[in-house]
Amino acid sequence: MSDKVVLAYSGGLDTSVAIKWIKEKYNLDVIALTVDVGNERDFSAIRQKALDVGAIKALVVDAKDSYVSEYVFPALQADALYEGEYPLATALARPLMAKLLVATAQEEGASTVAHGCTGKGNDQVRFEVSINALAPGLKIIAPAREWGMTREQTIDYAQRYGIPVPVTTASPYSIDENLWGRSIECGVLEDPWVEAPEEVFTWTRSAGETPDKPEYVEIGWEKGVPVTVDGQQLDGVSLIRRLNELAGRHGVGRVDHLENRLVGIKSREIYEAPAATVLLQAHQALEAMTLSKSQVRFKQKVAQEYADLIYNGLWFTALHQDLAAYVKSSQRFVTGTVRLKLFKGSSRVVGRKSPFSLYSYGLATYDKADEFDQSASPGFIHIWGLPVRTQAQIQPKSEAED
């Protein structure tokens, strides 16, 4: 009996060819594992395809709930946005897939796992570093990195072995999607000067096609987690779906990002992430109301570290564990409601309220309800400006200039 390998199987051309290729090259029996993270697909067809191509077993795991509660919402609480642009949908799903690969390998008694990533991207790093962290002894094969076939050669290989080549393979784009967003690369997008053609977008309407009337949406939060839309309680998966639909209809969530990959390449990526865009905006608006100035400033630094570690494949690390504890603690009063206005491709926060709001009308107002003691300001300014006055006397500006 030959040894077994668990392959992360998407149903696409590369991972289908990989089933045959692994059997030929390594003589391993392939168990295909497909993870449902909300990428609307026909999972029973994918499962059947894996078996038809030669997998000895094909498993489909519905991981939508754990994807949202253990990966997406913690990243949202952290305000993680890579390089200020990318909400990290692909990057967040990889550690979860790695975890399921490891668990399946252990259950099935397989010595090896495999993934379909090439040698140029971030995903190979995320898969392998996560697998190393969870099961240091497990062997890893990356067929698409090893076989050295071009796209055409891969199609030839598939045809030679009777592996169905999906019509979508004719599309010049490489697409990855899950609940938190959709990524599109390749084809004309590889010229950073060329505007993304309308055909790459499927979740968002172009501004010309969006409704002519603005729409408002109210998102309710508990401790930094979104729990209601327009007053209706929703589980995380349904809430994200609802907002993808609603914000997408108004053309919100298109991103054109010239991004720095971990492997040193700059690449041009198009993203569609309507729900992520709206939720990240609303969350920060609620934090602005419920956190102190210094909490917000410090948290912005944490947000950047957190986004980088997700992007760079370091989810299962001690650093992440420590940062996650900080983020969770920071959310204890981030409860309330945020109102946004969606219109012609833009979403703007237009209202916010919270039982823990630090905004004080009495301190902020200019009318007669004013409680701010203006007579205390001269003393404050006297001390705040002390070092500036001292320096101006000793080092006058005119001399400092030459």
Which residues of the shown chain bind ligand ARG in the complex (CB under 6 A)?
Answer: 90-91, 122-123, 174, 176, 183, 259, 269
Residues facing 225 on adjacent strands: 222
- Note whether 320 and 129 are within 8 A (CB): no
- Examine the residue annotation and report whether 123 is marked as an active-site residue of this protein: yes
Q: Per the residue annotation, which of 14, 29, 79, 176 is the catalytic one?
A: 14
Identify which of residues 180 and 343 has a Cβ nearer to ligand ARG in the complex: 180
DSSP state of 49: H
Identify which of residues 128 and 176 has a Cβ nearer to ligand ARG in the complex: 176
Q: How far is the CB of 342 from ligand ARG (least distance, A)?
A: 25
DSSP state of 202: S
CA 264 to the chain's CA centroid: 20
Q: How far is the CB of 232 from ligand ARG (least distance, A)?
A: 32
Q: What b/e sequence results for 227-245 when a residue is b if at least 16 CB atoms lie within 10 Å of its CB, and e otherwise?
A: bebeeeebebbebbbbbbe
Return the SS3 of 189. helix
Q: How far is the CB of 123 from ligand ARG (least distance, A)?
A: 5
Going by C-alpha positions, the residue among 343, 283, 340 that lies closest to residue 73 is: 283
| 15's tokens | 């991972």
Residue 35: what are its φ and ψ, rounded to 5°? -105, 125
Q: How far is the CB of 183 from ligand ARG (least distance, A)?
A: 4
Identify which of residues 144 and 239 has a Cβ nearer to ligand ARG in the complex: 144
- Note whether 80 and 310 are within 8 A (CB): yes
CB atoms within 10 A of CB 106: 13
DSSP state of 170: G
- Examine the residue annotation and report whether 332 is marked as an active-site residue of this protein: no
Q: Per the residue annotation, which of 69, 171, 174, 346 is the catalytic one?
A: 174
Cα separation, 346 vs 250, whole angstroms? 8
Going by C-alpha positions, the residue among 151, 147, 138 that lies closest to residue 127 is: 138
Identify which of residues 270 and 278 has a Cβ nearer to ligand ARG in the complex: 270
Q: How far is the CB of 318 from ligand ARG (least distance, A)?
A: 23
Q: How far is the CB of 133 from ligand ARG (least distance, A)?
A: 18
Q: Per the residue annotation, which of 94, 126, 205, 352 is the catalytic one?
A: 94
Q: Per the residue annotation, which of 10, 16, 79, 123 is the catalytic one?
A: 123
Identify which of residues 123 and 272 has a Cβ nearer to ligand ARG in the complex: 123
Identify which of residues 90 and 347 has a Cβ nearer to ligand ARG in the complex: 90
Catalytic site positions: 14, 94, 123, 174
